[in-house]
Amino acid sequence: MKKRKIFKNKEFEVIKNSLKKSVKGEVAITNQYGFEVDKDDYFPRPSNDARYATLEQLKTLNELSLEKGYNRNLYVEDVIDKIKEELSVEGNSYGVWSGLKTNIVMLIPLMIHKHKHGKECESHVRCEVFTNGIFRFLTLDVPIEDYKSLEIIDWKEVA
């Protein structure tokens, strides 16, 4: 590995990004959890497994993630406050505020993740938390069974 000098002769290792994205057209395999993933446990077609969540469910999933010590969590109260603020603006294009029953969150699976704090652990789903453009890119680690319990998005109904 190359080493570079930075900041008064301190050194750090240049590590190549080892994330491997699915190649378009790569054949997906069905893993033991029933998800289609590629050989590196990435979801080649994440929209096939995207799920809806209310803010209440998001809060619960975040609490589970924190309890299990997963790496990706949210400051969920800040997320809820920002969504409430955006939905309260008259004429907004995001949706309608319905308290914790607000159904504006979509969880898009990115990969099956198997580590927390650098150590191997039980498999869980790393998700993008999509909020209709209110936030740019939030990620949350969710236990697999809890993720599977959420309502799957039927894209035919959405369109």
pLDDT at 34: 82
pLDDT tens for residues 93-128? 778 888 899 888 999 999 999 999 889 999 999 999
Residue 26 pLDDT more than 80? no
Picking from 123, 113, 130, the residue whose alpha carbon sits closest to that of residue 53 is: 130
E runs forming strands in the chain: 3-6, 10-13, 29-30, 36-37, 51-53, 105-116, 119-130, 138-143
For residues 159 and 99, the model is more confident at 99
Q: Where are the beta strands (DSSP E) in 7-152?
A: 10-13, 29-30, 36-37, 51-53, 105-116, 119-130, 138-143
> What are the residue ranges spanned by the domains of the chain?
46-158
CA distance 153 to 107: 10
* Cα–Cα dist 102/57, whole Å: 10
pTM for the model stands at 0.76
Q: For all residues of the chain together, what is the average pLDDT?
A: 81
User: What is the pLDDT at residue 8?
Assistant: 44
Q: Residues, the chain, total?
A: 159
Query: Which pLDDT does position 20 carry in this prediction?
Result: 43
Q: Mean pLDDT throughout 24-39?
A: 75
pLDDT attached to residue 18: 38
Q: What is the DSSP letter of 6?
A: E
Q: Copy the structure tokens of residue 127.
A: 């998700």
Mean pLDDT of 47-75: 93
Tell me the average pLDDT across 13-33.
55
